[in-house]
Structure 1
Amino acid sequence: MGTWDTGHFDNDSAADFSWKVDEAPEAEREAVLREVLTFAAETSDYLDSDDGAFAVAAAALVASQCPGGEAVTTAYGPKKPLPVLTPELRPLAVRALDGVLGENSELHELWDESGDKAWAAGIARLKEVLSAATG
C-alpha cells in the first residue's frame, strides 16, 4: 500500500477512488460511494486494505456534508463536486468504518502494526460526525 500520511486520502488507493468518483457521471457519484460503503459494511470475509481505504475515503466524503464535518480539500480527493448526498448514507458509512476497524480488516491491521495512533483517531472523528448527523 502506497501511503504517505494518516489522512483519509493520503494513500494510493484513496487517490484512485477519488479518480473513480470523478469519472462517474454526476448522477452516479452517490452510487459509487454507496457501493464501497456497502461492501465494507456487509463483508464477513477479510477486508483488504484497498477496500478499506475506499470505504474510509467514501465515509470522509459523506461526513464532509454533515454538520461539523470537514471539507475534503486535499489534492488527492475528488476534483468534481458531489451532489447533495442522501442522509441514509450516514449510518451506512458508520457501519463501513466499523468494518474497517474490525478484526478482519487488513487496513486496521497494518495501521495497528505501525503503532501510529493518528489514523485511528481520524477514523473515530469521522464516526463521531457521522453518528451525530444520523441522530
Structure 2
Amino acid sequence: MGTWDTGPFDNDTAADFGGDLDEAAWEEREPMIRGVLVRAASPVDFLGIYDGERAVAAAALVVAQHPDGEPACLNYCPSDPVPELPTDLRILAVDALDQVISDRSELAEQWAEAANWSKWRQEITRLRDLLEPPIPPQEEALFEI
C-alpha cells in the first residue's frame, strides 16, 4: 500500500483522486465525489482497497464543508476548491465510512496489520463523528407514563 500517513489523502490512490478532481471540469467534481461515495456505500461482499481509499478522501472533502469541519488536508488533496456539496452527501459519506471500517473492507484489513492502525481508525471515527454527531441524551421525558 503506497501510504505515508493516516490522513485521508496520505496515500497514492487518494492523492491521484485529488489530482483527478483538479483536472475535471467544475461541474464534474460533485458527481465524481458522489460516485466514489455511492460505490463505497453500496452493499458489496468485499470493498476493495482503492475504493476504500477514495471513499475516505471523498468523505474528508464533505467534512471540509461541514460547519464544524476543517480542511481535508494540507498536501495531495485537490489544489482547486470543490463546488459546494449538497448536504445529502453527509449521509452517503457516513455510509461509505461504515463500509470502509467494516469486516468486508480490504482497506480495514490492511490497516489492521499496521502498527498505526488505532491512529487510522481514530481518523475515520473523527470524520464520521463530524458528519453524524452522536445524539445527545434527552434531559426530560417527552411523555408522562
**Maintained 8 Å contact 2:9/2:73:** no
**1:1-31 deviation per Cα after TM superposition (whole angstroms, max 9, x unaligned):** 2000111110001001101111111111010
Q: Between Structure 1 and Structure 2, whose CA radius of gyration is higher?
A: 2
Q: Which has the higher helix share?
A: 1
TM superposition shift of 1:45 = 2.4
**Maintained 8 Å contact 1:67/1:129:** no
In structure 1, what is the equivalent of residue 59 of structure 2?
59
**1:46-78 deviation per Cα after TM superposition (whole angstroms, max 9, x unaligned):** 111111000000000000000211112422000
Q: What's the TM-score, normalizing by structure 2?
A: 0.88
5+ unaligned residues in a row in structure 1: which ranges? Answer: none
CA RMSD of aligned residues (A): 1.0
Q: What's the TM-score, normalizing by structure 1?
A: 0.94
Q: How does 1:27-106 map to 2 (within 5 A)?
A: 27-106=27-106
Within 2, Cα distance between the matches of 1:55 and 1:65?
A: 16
Within 2, Cα distance between the matches of 1:67 and 1:125?
A: 14
Paired-residue identity, %: 51
In structure 2, what is the equivalent of residue 130 of structure 1?
131
Structure 1's consecutive aligned runs of 4 or more residues displaced over 3 angstroms after TM superposition are none
